[in-house]
Chains A and B, each alone.
Chain A
């Protein structure tokens, strides 16, 4: 059995309450930090561990924190991004429902490192059970003196609130999330200034993912060498991987960083369902490039997946099987992205619905060769550098790789004037 620090204590369908969490060593890391460490030492340790953000972008967490100014007056904020809404992603739900105090402890330590005054858990609307669990956990943490004034006798004060959203994918983008918390439309902000300097209400703000923050107490307790030893590769730690689609045992597992695509599919997800073959997969949610049969032995870490032309993203894989139309698959994704575009910048607002319409026409048998050229052009026009945030470039990742790996399927739609799979309506 491999070590699973984040999830090993979570029993299926149960929540660790404060007492259960303390019984397995919970809040010991916070005690240690408050007694022995300066904020700068906490940041330095996280930086040295090379913990990379688990929300999709994979940026160094300690590096992000180190940009926060440590002098000056006025509030600073730490925000947990629990707006898990990337299609195909269901990993943070596990941590939120199973071990809320691990997240809260991670947030308090992280807030201390940047000397934040106020922190928020920004949780998506649909996670009703997780929200109820978090509310209870927050009141337990306040009652136990882990939140509020003079935390564990130290001259440090932190408030923590739960904010539940009202549904919009854009809220997962960190600057759009900040606008939403300020009561505005969730449109992205120009960077620079980065939120670390000017974030919520113009104050220094750090936004980290649930899985990232949940790791902080363990790194404080057990150190950098231990964190790196969990991984098979240079990107440290464990990772929560997931698989959904036509596999025998869809699910999520906390595994050493760097297990291969094949191991995930065959050993953990139990292989493809009877009668279905593997054609490809999005390794880390809807906005990542396809991997195919040639990538089965690629380790699922940030570096190797990038070298294979995709992104680790959230680490939750969506499988494309051989009975499912790749054009229809991408149409479903582009429908989502077109709908969730905030409409703030023109390429995304206009380009995504156009992309979706072309894919729809192809599925209906009305597509032409010129349409395929249009799709190729869109993958560049909506690519990095042409849009205000990462939504449209992300939307182009599965499309550009589908056009590359499944070109023949696109062409058959044109030449046969119908969807050759014929198994899905739209």
Chain B
């Protein structure tokens, strides 16, 4: 069940678009903002609101990299693995993160604190290597800074 807040926010988005379907990405974003990921049940509820089939909603949800269809941790780490970060040696950060968190890409730490994901170019190539934790961008990173960055997130 979507909450009253989610429904009213989605209905607000519906007023901005000429056809209901056009609000589906906004609806997915709204649901994920509240719950951190989008469940099968959420997909069905969004479909009902927008007069779409659940499969149609899911085809959109699964297309985009940053709509999560599986549970994620309280914080999501997005490590840039694109060309400038690769040239500047992002793999050291990757190893350190995997070692500290004891996870591989796509996995969540046992305490549910972090999910680690690779991400395409974050658009700060002059200050590579880079990563994001939730909405926070970190640049010019060195391996020995990783631990103190992680400590900021509960």
Q: Do A and B come from one complex?
A: yes
**A263-303 interface bits toward B, Cβ cutoff 8 Å, 1 = contact, 0 = none:** 00000000000000000001000100000000000000000
Whether A244 pairs with B126 at a CB distance below 8 angstroms is: yes
Any B CB within 8 A of the CB of A183: yes
Q: Which residues of B contact A100 (CB under 8 A)?
A: none
Q: Which of A16-24, A85-93, A356-364, A375-383 is found at the contact surface with chain B? A: A85-93
A residues near B63, Cβ cutoff 8 Å: 168, 185-186, 342
Chain B residue at minimum C-beta to C-beta distance from A171: B64
* Complex Cα gap A339–B120 (Å): 9
Given known contacts A182-B21, A184-B60, A250-B125, is B88 in contact with A245 (CB within 8 Å)? yes
Most chain A beta-carbon contacts within 10 A, residue among B63, B66, B91, B122? B63
* Nearest-CB residue, chain B, relative to A252: B126
- B24 interface hit (Cβ, 8 Å): yes
A240: min CB distance to chain B, Å: 12
Residues of B within 8 Å of A180, CB to CB, are: 25
The CA of A205 and the CA of B1, in the complex, are separated in Å by: 38
- Known A-B contacts A166-B25, A166-B28; the reply to A251 vs B126 at CB < 8 A is yes
Q: How far is the CA of A88 from the CA of B84 in the complex (A)?
A: 6
Judge whether B21 and A318 touch: CB under 8 Å.
no
Counting CB contacts under 8 A, is B19 at the interface? yes
Taking A166-B66, A336-B120 as contacts, is the C-beta distance between A87 and B91 under 8 angstroms? Answer: no
Bound-state CA distance A373–B60 (Å) is 37
A243 touches B126 (CB 8 A): yes
* Bound CA–CA A87/B121 (angstroms): 5
B97 is an interface residue with CB less than 8 A from chain A: no
Partner-binding segment picked from B107-115, B127-135, B144-152: B127-135
Q: Is the CB of B91 within 8 A of A244?
A: no
Known: A90-B124, A166-B28, A169-B120. A183 touches B21 (CB 8 A): yes
Q: Is residue B16 contacting chain A, with contact meaning CB distance below 8 A? A: yes
Which chain B positions have C-beta within 8 A of A335?
A: 81
User: How many angstroms from the CA of A167 to the CA of B66 in the assembled complex?
Assistant: 6
Whether A201 touches B120, Cβ cut-off 8 Å, given contacts A166-B64, A336-B82, A424-B91, is: no
Is B120 touching A89 in the complex (CB atoms < 8 A)? no
Chain B residue at minimum C-beta to C-beta distance from A424: B91
Contact partner of A126 among B29, B60, B83, B132, CB < 8 A? B132
- Chain B residues in 8 Å Cβ range of A336: 81-83, 120-121
Asked if B121 and A168 make an inter-chain contact with CB atoms under 8 angstroms apart, the answer reads no
CB contact under 8 A between A126 and B84, given known A181-B22, A182-B22? no
Interface residue from A168, A243, A244, A321 paired with B64 (Cβ < 8 Å): A168
C-alpha spacing A168/B120, complex, angstroms: 9
B67 at the interface (CB under 8 A from A): yes
B57 CB to nearest A CB, Å: 9
A185-B87 in contact (CB<8A):
no
Chain A 221-255 interface residues, beta-carbon cutoff 8 Å to B: 242-246, 250-252
A419 to B100, CA, bound (A): 29
Which residues of A have CB within 8 Å of B137? 126, 128-129
What is the distance, in angstroms, from A404's C-beta to the closest C-beta of chain B? 19
Q: Is A411 an interface residue (CB 8 A)?
A: no
Q: Is the pair B120, A321 in contact by a Cβ cutoff of 8 Å? A: no
Can you list, as one digit per residue, whether each of B9-30 has a CB less than 8 Å from chain A (1) or not (0)?
0000000111101111110110
Query: Is A388 part of the binding interface, using a Cβ–Cβ cutoff of 8 Å?
Result: no
* Residues of chain A with a CB closer than 8 A to B3's CB: none
B71 in the interface (beta carbon within 8 A): no
Give bound CA distance, A321 to B86, whole Å: 12
Bound Cα distance A185, B56 (Å): 10
Instruction: Indicate whether A286 sits within 8 Å of B64 (C-beta atoms), given known contacts A84-B123, A128-B137, A425-B91.
Output: no
Known contacts A126-B132, A332-B83; is-contact A316 B28 (Cβ 8 Å): no
Q: Which residues of B contact A86 (CB under 8 A)?
A: 121
Q: Report the Cα distance A128→B123, complex, angstroms.
A: 12
* Interface contact B135-A340, CB-CB below 8 Å: no
Q: Does A333 contact B (CB under 8 A)?
A: yes
B21, B23, B24, B125: the one within 8 Å of A90 (CB): B125
Instruction: Evaluate whether A93 and B124 lie within 8 angstroms (CB atoms) in the complex, with A87-B84, A245-B87 already known.
Output: yes
Beyond the given pairs A182-B21, A424-B91, 4 more chain A to chain B contacts, judged by CB atoms under 8 angstroms and listed by A's residue number, are A167-B119, A336-B120, A336-B121, A425-B91
Give the interface of A toward B (CB within 8 A): 84-90, 92-93, 124-129, 161, 164-169, 180-186, 201, 242-246, 250-252, 282, 286, 316, 318-321, 324, 328-329, 332-333, 335-336, 339-340, 342, 424-425
6 A-B contact pairs sorted by A residue (CB < 8 Å): A87-B120, A89-B123, A161-B16, A184-B21, A329-B86, A335-B81
